[in-house]
A and B are shown apart, each in its own frame.
Chain A
Amino acid sequence: MAYDYEKSIRPGKLPHIWCPGCGHGIAMKGLIRAMDTCGLDKNNTAIVSGIGCASRLPGYMDYCTLHTAHGRAAAFATGVKMAKPEMNVIVMGGDGDGTAIGGNHFIHACRRNIDMTYVIFNNFIYGMTGGQFSPCTPTGDKASTTPYGNPDPIFDISKLAIGAGATFVARTTAFHATQIDKLIAEGIKHKGMSVIEVLDDCPTTYGRRNKFRSVVDMMKRLKEIAVPVAAASKMTAEQLEGKVLTGVLYKEDKPEYCEQYAKVIAKAQGRAV
């Protein structure tokens, strides 16, 4: 039976604004399926985003949504979670929004291990603002502000999240469509900061400048560079050159921030912890 995505989408909001072939649509479908699997209540779930192509997503979703300033999604989401710890908080954003402009908020949300799910759509570029290079644009690739190739090394978002203290970190790609919902669902169920990085494609500002002939070429590249974690352990360093690991990269249980903060409040009020 056809999957009913429209029950999670605000009436009259489709078609969305994303370009033909944009992987955000595929990732959004994964997010909808994941939220469905977890049975999240529409009135008790907040989807928070900053600015950017990926950050348009909450506008389509029929949940409590918050569209905030550029890069500040994690900060607003922290506020929502602290004020209403019973709410499920999902943060959305792109690679530029999450790791460049909002990089500081992102690492500190990871450090606190606050119970929210941060889904980063990494399309390797600033799409909405005109194709400027982001911290995730691969070295040597072209963007509107690096016409001779990008000299910068990239941020590995998942490693950054692990290093900063997130307790659930996973990565997948828009090609691996069924893996997206499984990982996001696992992230939602995890108590603590979950970061799910979804590599996707931007045919308009990244693909056409970097000699991808079509959207399908970009999808095939995502398939080629992805290596599941289990398979990677049997591969040599040379074989892993240029590849990215997918699947659950890191998971641990640590004290959650809201619970710790509740203890501080209880202590200050003289109540027993």
Chain B
Amino acid sequence: MSSSNEAVQKKGSTPRIEVIERYCKGCSICVEFCPTRVLEMETFVVQVVKPEACIKCMQCELRCPDFAIKVHTE
């Protein structure tokens, strides 16, 4: 996917991770697939706890079944 490739190339800046809480159903797929533990579950809604650790792999955005996570890299 072109968007993920772009993201990997632009390392350095911290991305803005947007969680749409109204869409999140708390399945925790994003938490489990995040390689750097940026996300955590809190009362069945995902929370961004370590945005600075994000490597922009876009796994959370790609795998979220509920369209609830967006990783803004610019």
A binds B: yes
Known: A178-B1, A215-B28. A29 touches B62 (CB 8 A): yes
Q: Which of B2-40 touch A at CB < 8 Å?
A: 3-4, 6-7, 18, 22-23, 25-29, 32-33
Task: Give a binary string over B30-60; 1 marks a CB under 8 Å from any A CB, 0 the rest.
Answer: 0011000000000000000000000000000
Please give, as numbers and ranges, the residues of chain B lying within 8 Å of A33 by CB-CB distance: 1
**When chains A and B are docked, how far (Å) is the Cα of A26 from the Cα of B66?**
8
Chain A interface size, under 10 / 10 to 19 / 20 to 34 / 35 or more? 20 to 34
Which of B23, B62, B67, B72 has its CB near the most chain A CB atoms (within 10 A)?
A: B67
Which residues of the partner chain A approach B7 to less than 8 Å between Cβ atoms?
Answer: 1
B74 nearest CB neighbor, chain A only: A1
A24: contacting residue among B27, B65, B71, CB under 8 A = B65
Across the interface, B3 reaches (CB within 8 A) one of A2, A14, A15, A219, namely A2
Measured between beta carbons, the chain A residues less than 8 angstroms from B26 are 20
| Assembly CA distance A6 to B29 (angstroms) | 21
Interface residues, chain A, CB within 8 Å of chain B? 1-3, 5-6, 9, 14-16, 18-26, 29, 33, 177-178, 181, 203, 214-216, 219
Chain B residue nearest to A28 (CB atoms) is B65
State which of B6, B66, B74 has its C-beta within 8 Å of the C-beta of A15. B66
CB-CB under 8 A for A1 and B63, given A15-B22, A215-B27:
no
In the complex, what residue of chain B is closest to A220 when comparing beta carbons? B32
A21 and B65 contact, Cβ closer than 8 Å, known pairs A3-B3, A33-B1, A215-B27: yes
A-B contact pairs, 23 of them (CB 8 A): A1-B3, A1-B74, A2-B18, A2-B73, A3-B3, A9-B67, A15-B67, A15-B68, A16-B66, A18-B65, A18-B66, A19-B25, A20-B27, A21-B25, A22-B65, A26-B64, A29-B62, A178-B4, A203-B27, A214-B28, A215-B27, A215-B28, A215-B29
